[in-house]
């Protein structure tokens, strides 16, 4: 027989279940967090981070189900033996310089909550990172090998929509002659330069140049540049 309650003081009574806040109280709390009145800066920033993550998760779920290019990539990853569940595409706070990232093991994509300026921006970011995952799964990329890394970066920038004219215009790069190729090359060099195995930008540029022709023309799993 369970008699753990027999030693309670006579005046003790079971605690009641906390009642949900009223709509007014929820609105008041939200107003405090938005204005910063009555809350600490840490509380306000934490609420903003939570809002960005929730918003990111909603958009991510929509794109995984309805974006033609994201659905296409997920299908071909599954066909390659690397099915990607929604839990492997994570929304998380990041620094302001990034929109996403890819972790080879266990094959996870990170979306930087709060760093997207449009749904199309998130779509191209997911596609970019899924292309890295596709290369990792299909071609067994050694990410410490600068030529391997360069090839995947060329393909991801080329095929994801990252180098559309409108995206480049937003970045402040305007060119009417071979704009797409210039963007793909520049962004690939930037990414390879950030590889811990890369000694300097010259080595990154050399790696990109060495694999450029074959990797720029390799549009798998697409038939052509998206």
Hey, which residues are catalytic here?
Answer: 129
Radius of gyration of the chain (CA): 24
Q: Are 84 and 131 in contact (CB under 8 A)?
A: no
Query: How many Cβ atoms are within 10 Å of 50's Cβ, its own excluded?
Result: 13
Query: In sequence order, what are the residues at sequence separation of 6 or more whose Cβ sits closer than 8 angstroms to the Cβ of residue 167?
Result: 121, 124, 161, 183
Q: Is the peptide bond before 221 cis (omega within 30 degrees of 0)?
A: yes
Task: Of 179, 185, 199, 114, give the one whose Cα is nearest residue 156.
Answer: 185
Give the Cα separation of 193 and 174 in Å (integer). 23
């Amino acid at each position: 027989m369970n008699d753990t309650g027999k030693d309670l003081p006579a005046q003790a009574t079971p605690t009641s279940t906390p009642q949900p806040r009223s709509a007014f109280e929820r609105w008041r709390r939200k107003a405090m967090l938005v204005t910063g009145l009555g809350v600490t800066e840490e509380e306000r920033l934490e609420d903003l981070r939570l809002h960005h993550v929730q918003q990111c998760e909603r958009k991510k779920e929509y794109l995984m189900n309805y974006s033609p290019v994201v659905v296409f990539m997920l299908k071909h990853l599954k066909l390659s033996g690397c099915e990607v569940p929604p839990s492997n595409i994570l929304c998380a706070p990041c620094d302001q310089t990034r929109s996403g990232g890819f972790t080879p093991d266990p094959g996870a994509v990170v979306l930087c909550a709060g760093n997207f300026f449009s749904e199309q921006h998130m779509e191209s970011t997911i596609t970019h990172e899924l292309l890295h995952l596709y290369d990792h799964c299909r071609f067994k990329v050694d990410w410490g090998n600068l030529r391997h890394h360069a090839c995947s970066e060329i393909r991801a920038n080329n095929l994801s929509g990252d180098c559309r004219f409108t995206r480049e215009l937003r970045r402040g790069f305007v060119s009417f002659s071979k704009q797409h190729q210039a963007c793909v090359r520049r962004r690939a060099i930037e990414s390879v330069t950030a590889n811990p195995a890369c000694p300097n930008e010259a080595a990154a540029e050399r790696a990109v140049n060495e694999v450029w022709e074959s990797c720029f023309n390799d549009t798998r799993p697409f038939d052509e540049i998206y």
